[in-house]
């Protein structure tokens, strides 16, 4: 019923850019706070960026100034624009939705981003 589907990952050189998308269905998208997390094997999952239903954003210090999270409520989609990519940005990027009305949250399967020369 609820689906979060990420896309846009791939291989990019250091300094390059990538835009990730997360298309949501089965939720009242406009009231969900949306998050991007990233996961590296052997490391704890890291919150990269968040955007509330009202459009308030937060970023991890490691990506501040390089990444931008945005949402298009008409398309039920959240984006992560990633610029000036570094090898340490390499990870599986996962989309998360949190509904503050119900306290339910949902996860996508992730999309792989690899930054390498």
Kindly report, residue by residue over 17-42, the tens digit of the pLDDT.
Answer: 999 999 999 999 999 999 999 999 99
Enumerate residues 6+ apart whose C-beta is below 8 A from 39.
45, 46, 91, 92, 93, 94, 110
pLDDT of residue 85: 98
- Please answer whether residues 78 and 94 qualify as being in contact, where contact means their C-beta atoms are separated by less than 8 angstroms: no
Give residue 29's pLDDT: 95
Average pLDDT over residues 65-84: 98
Confidence of residue 114 (pLDDT cuts 50, 70, 90): very high
* Cβ pair 80, 93 in contact under 8 A: yes
């Amino acid at each position: 019923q609820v689906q979060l589907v990420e896309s846009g990952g791939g291989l990019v050189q250091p300094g390059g850019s990538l835009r990730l998308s997360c298309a949501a269905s089965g939720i009242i998208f406009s009231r969900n706070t949306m998050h991007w997390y990233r996961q590296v094997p052997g490391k704890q999952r890291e919150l990269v960026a968040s955007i509330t239903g009202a459009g308030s954003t937060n970023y991890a210090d490691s990506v501040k100034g390089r990444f931008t999270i945005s949402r298009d409520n008409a398309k039920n989609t959240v984006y992560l624009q990633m610029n000036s990519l570094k090898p340490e940005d390499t990870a599986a990027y996962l989309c998360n939705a949190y509904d503050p009305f119900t306290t339910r949250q949902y996860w996508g399967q992730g999309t792989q981003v690899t930054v390498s020369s």
